[in-house]
Structure 1
Amino acid sequence: MSPRTLYRRIALAEVVSWALLLAGMFLKYVTATTDLGVKVFGMVHGVVFIAFCLVTVLVSVNQRWTARQLVLGLASAIPPFLTVWFERRMEHAGALEGGWRLGHAEARPENPLERVLHLLLARPAVAVGVGLVAVAALTGVALVAGPPVSVGG
């Protein structure tokens, strides 16, 4: 799977998870019928949000995005539905072109993040496992930390 395909899929998954969470919030706060949607889709959105952020970092390292592009990519996950817009913007800018630059045996990683990505790309099954463990661990940290506290409340 190319960086473009992976990023497009995770950006779309993030948008879908936002839509489901907003639907759950509508049911909870507008119709006051149930909070089940917020409980279920809140967790789904949280997991997909974390996965999107991790994939954004990996793709940015491989594609040599600028720090500004990386920050904008991460920030695009905060407002609803912005991740697909950002992905399309990066595609039109050519920032998602090509394959996994660091996935070749002859690749020469230049920094620690590139070395980690190079090792993961050499073993795709291990990379998927590491990704799943990272998402689960970060989700656990988020659950322990709890929801954000509102100002004044």
Structure 2
Amino acid sequence: MNESSMRLSPRTLFRIFAIAEMFTWAGLITALILRAVDVANIVPIAGGIHGFVFLCYAMSTIFVWVNQKWNVGLGLTGLLLAVVPFATVPFEVTVERRGLLDGGWRLAPGGDEPRGLIEHIQAWILRHLLLAIVLMVLAIVAVYIILLILGPPVPRG
């Protein structure tokens, strides 16, 4: 699979999850308000969806961070802003305007030679995309289940 056959660019991947993270924040906040005014308690559903998308955003941010060779400060900022409601989209717009999402997958077959463990992992993922997606979904589901078992970050009451 060469770069031209990979339709999901780093820009597109990052944008999808930045926007999804924003919408799930809106859903979670709405659910918290509905619970506070005793209209409905859909917090477990909204929180579950938000938690899953949060983990997907984190994984996609790390993947794009490695590909785009962002510095540590920028990569950590992208990750940390996920805990601030609606902050992922302004971050995505900022890095887009600075040209930090330009280009394709540099470690795809026929691209740059990977250096270091993280780049070798990313190159493997890009060579075995379907298997990698299945494994990443399973990893996210496993982390999600562990977090569900641990319970909400702030107990109610």
Q: TM-score range by the shorter chain?
A: over 0.9
Q: In the TM superposition, what is the alpha-carbon distance from 1:149 to its structure 2 partner? A: 4.7
Q: Residues of 2 paired with 1:5 and 1:79: CA distance?
A: 22
Partner of 2:110: 105
Structure 2, gaps ≥5 residues long: 1-7
Q: Residues of 1 paired with 2:125 and 2:150: CA distance?
A: 29
Partner of 1:16: 23
**Cα root mean square deviation, aligned:** 1.4
Structure 1, gaps ≥5 residues long: none
Task: Quote the sequence identity (%).
Answer: 36
**Residue type of the partner of 2:24?**
S
After superposition, the Cα gap between the structure-2 partners of 1:4 and 1:106, relative to the gap in structure 1 and judged at 3 Å, is: closer
Is the Cα–Cα contact under 8 Å of residues 56 and 73 in structure 1 kept in the other structure?
yes
* TM-score of the pair, normalised by structure 2: 0.90
After superposition, the Cα gap between the structure-2 partners of 1:15 and 1:149, relative to the gap in structure 1 and judged at 3 Å, is: closer
CA offset digits 1:88-144 (Å, max 9, x no partner): 111111111000001123531111011000000012111211221121011122112
Aligned length: 149
Partner of 1:134: 139
Q: Residues of 1 paired with 2:139 and 2:108: CA distance?
A: 20
CA offset digits 1:23-53 (Å, max 9, x no partner): 1111001x21211x21111000000001100
CA offset digits 1:48-105 (Å, max 9, x no partner): 0011001111110011010001110001100110000101111111111000001123
Q: Residues of 1 paired with 2:154 and 2:90: CA distance?
A: 29
* TM-score of the pair, normalised by structure 1: 0.92
Is the Cα–Cα contact under 8 Å of residues 15 and 80 in structure 1 kept in the other structure?
yes
Partner of 2:63: 58
Is the Cα–Cα contact under 8 Å of residues 105 and 122 in structure 1 kept in the other structure?
no
